[in-house]
Structure 1
Amino acid sequence: MDSLTQIVLGAAVGEAVLGKKVGNKAMLYGAIAGTIPDLDVLASHFTDTVSALAIHRGFTHSIVFSVLFAPFFGWLVSRYESYKDIKGWAWLFFWAFITHPILDAHTTWGTQLFWPFDLRLAFKTIFVIDPLYTLPFLVFLILAMVQKRTSAKRRLYNKLGLIISSSYLLLTFLFKWIAYNEFEAALTNQNIDYIQLDTRPSALNTMLWSANVETENAYLLGNYSFFDTKPISFETYPKNHEFLGDLAKDEKVQRMIAISEGWYIISKEDDSLYFSDLRFGLLSMEPNSQNFVFKYKIEKDASGKVQFTEKPKDKRDGKKLLSELWIRIKGN
């Protein structure tokens, strides 16, 4: 999830663990702890694109990280805070650390919660930024923050924030189930033979859902809003995996295919090859758009090694997409 959401979650967890004993400092350290797992993004400054993608939401988002580093941070904070209970601080950091990847596991990218096992947990029930999850949570956190440390209202507000946000998170599984059934029915009604079907919510909401459908030689992409009145339509994107040629045997290409979980297409533009990760969809609602959220140019460096370079995103595309999504959410 986005940084603000993780800060709010971490602060609320910190309050639940130590708020009664240390007041707003519990929220402060919980907020800090809630951001620490995302420091793995710094890897992009020290390694290549493929390695950085493989590292992202890996070790720092695991149970192992939470268990190993919570006692260290607990000891560190107790060294200079007046509250000297190492176990209490360690417990705060553990819960702030572990709830971070559990929440991230609900997004499309997912997390390697069970690192070092090569298993990425991704429920794909919520977008990385969802105001309906974050804003009510933030309001209750602020209400709790302004109460006295020992106030019953403080604990009530914080508890309500945790309950309401968690309830919404559970509700997204129901939304996903409904959307999945709609896509499945549409494929059946249109006599489309497919290998697998994958669904996810669109940006900033859980009312409009997107689907990736794998067929033998192509992927079908479709959208469904809970307010739709017309049948679901799908657009076809040829896989073009044969464009890779001998590059398909390259180690980095194989790693990118694994990272994308096989949901990728290859395209040729100006004599260059591009790898598009279909799991995160398009930056446009226009028919037959090739403007994928994550698109990488495949090229060889001076030494002949394959490199992936992410295609820069245009902020104007993001603004345009939000406008298109708002219209599409209202129904087809």
Structure 2
Amino acid sequence: MDSLTQIVLGAAVGEAVLGKKVGNKAMLYGAIAGTIPDLDTIVGKFLDPLTAIEIHRGLSHSIVFSIVMAPLLGWLVSKIHKRAAATWKDWSWLFFWGLITHPLLDAHTTWGTQLFWPFDLRLAYQNIFVIDPLYTLPFLVFLILAIRLPKTSAKRNKYNRLGLSVSSGYMMLTLILKGISYQKFTDALDAQHIEYTAIDTRPAAFNTILWYANVDIGDAYLLGDYSFFDTKPISFKKVEKNKAALANYKNSETVKRLAQIAEGWYAIEKSNQDLFFNDLRFGVYDLEAENLKFVFSYQLVPDQYDKLTIVEAKRDPEAMKQVLSSLWSRVWGN
């Protein structure tokens, strides 16, 4: 999830664990704990682009990281606040829960997280977009109401628990909505007598009303969308996998690594002499557009040794405005 959401969650968890003893310090260090796992993006800036993608939400988002770092950070903060009512063990518990809830939340997004690192298993439930105002804003409001009250106030504890309950309840609702939308897509495929081997669904940006689906039909994919306000049947657009375009690069180590990141959901695009690797898990900017542009697209560039490197396709700010306008319109039905 986005940084603000992780800060709010971390602060609320910190308050729940240690708020009665140390007051707003619990929220402060909870917020810090909720931010720490995403520092892997800073590490990624010193690595090649492909490795940076691979390590994102890896080690720092694991149970191992939380278990190792919590007592170290707890010890450090206990030394800084020697006069506080909290012990080293108290601070360690705060950091553990602040660290571990970060990847637990990220596991609900499309990118997912390697919670069980070093095992090669990425959890990605794909039931919430990385930025969802309906999850974050009510949570933030309850946290602000709580932070203004004394640490011994019963209302403070009540507001914080309400924030955690409302956000958790909304998360449960998104899982139900995902299940309903999944059924809508499979019903549409059955009604259109389309045979498929796999289907992958996820919410559109900033909401859980509009949902997207990728459908594997063998040598191609079908892309579709469904809004809970739709009145017309679901239609699908075909995207060829086009893996033959890789030619001599089909067994390239770079392609294999990208394919693993994309969990097999990718298509190759050839424009003039340039090759592009399109990660289908994050969909396209506008499914209604004539020429589909994928959100995560990487140009495959041969180096002097004829090995492939990657360059992430740049996003056009003006085009993004049109995309947001189209998204808002599409949410309200076809």
Please, what TM-score do these two structures have when normalized by structure 2?
0.98
Matches within 5 A, 1:57-68: 57-68=57-68
The SS at the match of 2:226 is strand
Whether 2:52 is the aligned partner of 1:52: answer yes
Q: Are residues 1:10 and 2:49 paired?
A: no
What displacement does 1:269 show?
A: 1.2
2:211 aligned partner: 209
Whether the 8 Å contact between 1:37 and 1:97 is mirrored in structure 2 is: yes
Q: Equivalents in 2 of 1:99, 1:66: separation in Å?
A: 10
Residues 318-329 of structure 1: pairs in structure 2 closer than 5 A = 318-329=320-331
| Secondary structure, aligned partner of 2:157 | helix
Residue from 118, 127, 144 that aligns with 1:125: 127
1:294 partner SS: strand
> Residue 287 of structure 1: CA displacement?
3.2
Partner Cα separation in structure 2 for residue 44 and residue 265 of structure 1 = 25
1:48 shift after superposition: 1.4
In structure 1, the residue matched to 2:271 is 269
Asked if the contact 1:278/1:292 (under 8 Å) is kept, the reply is: yes
Residue in 2 that maps onto 1:36? 36
Q: Is the 8 A contact 2:62 2:100 kept in 1?
A: yes
Among 244, 247, 254, the residue aligned to 2:246: 244
The alignment of Structure 1 onto Structure 2 pairs a total of residues equal to 332
Shifted more, 239-248 versus 108-117: the winner is 239-248
Distance in 2 (alpha carbons) for counterparts of 1:248 and 1:7 = 42
Counterparts of 2:210 and 2:179, CA distance in 1? 13
| Stretches of structure 1 lacking an aligned partner (at least 5 in a row) | none
* Letter of the structure 1 residue corresponding to residue 105 of structure 2: L
Corresponding position of 1:309: 311
1:252 CA drift (Å): 1.6
Q: Is the 8 A contact 1:282 1:289 kept in 2?
A: no
Kindly indicate whether residue 109 of structure 2 is the aligned counterpart of residue 98 of structure 1: no
What's the secondary structure of 1:265's corresponding residue? strand
**Which position in structure 1 is the counterpart of 2:191?**
189
- State the Cα distance separating 1:43 from its structure 2 match: 3.0
Question: Which secondary structure does the structure 2 equivalent of 1:114 belong to?
Answer: coil
Which residue of the partner structure matches residue 286 of structure 2? 284
Pick which of 71-80 and 282-291 moved more.
282-291
Deviation at 1:303, TM superposition (A): 3.4
1-structure distance, mates of 2:142, 2:217: 46
Q: Please identify runs of 4+ aligned residues in structure 1 that moved more than 3 A.
A: none
The CA distance in 2 between the partners of 1:79 and 1:156, in whole Å, is: 30
Q: Report the CA distance shift for 1:114/1:208 in structure 2 as closer, same or farther (over 3 A).
A: same
| C-alpha contact 2:44 2:55 (8 A) present in aligned 1 | no
RMSD: 1.0
Check conservation: 1:62, 1:101, Cα contact below 8 A. yes
TM-score (norm. length: structure 1): 0.98
CA contact (8 A) 1:285 1:324 kept: no
Distance 1:13 1:92 in 2: 8
* Residue 157 (structure 2) aligned to one of 155, 158, 165: 155
- In the alignment, which of 73, 87, 107 is matched to residue 89 of structure 2? 87
Would the aligned equivalents of 2:178 and 2:201 in 1 still touch at CA under 8 Å? yes
What CA distance in whole angstroms lies between the structure 2 residues aligned with 1:288 and 1:237? 12
Q: What amino acid is aligned across from residue 178 of structure 1 in structure 2?
A: I
Q: Match for 1:171: what amino acid?
A: L
Q: CA deviation at 1:175?
A: 0.1
Q: Deviations over 1:147-180 (max 9, x none)?
A: 1110000000000000000010011110000000
Deviation (angstroms), 1:59:
0.5
Report deviation, 1:117. 0.5
Q: How many percent identity over aligned positions?
A: 60
Deviation at 1:315, TM superposition (A): 1.9
Do 1:235 and 1:287's aligned partners in 2 also have CA atoms closer than 8 Å? no
Bigger mean CA deviation after superposition, 302-311 or 126-135: 302-311
CA distance in 2, matches of 1:233, 1:304: 41
Counterpart secondary structure, 2:234: coil
Equivalent position SS for 1:124 = coil
In structure 2, the residue matched to 1:169 is 171
Native 8 Å contact 1:235 1:288 kept in 2: no
Distance 1:66 1:15 in 2: 18
Which residue identity lines up with residue 29 of structure 2 in the other structure? Y
Secondary structure of residue in 2 paired with 1:249: coil
Contact 2:14 2:26 survives alignment (8 Å): yes
Question: Where does the alignment leave 5 or more consecutive residues of structure 2 unmatched?
Answer: none
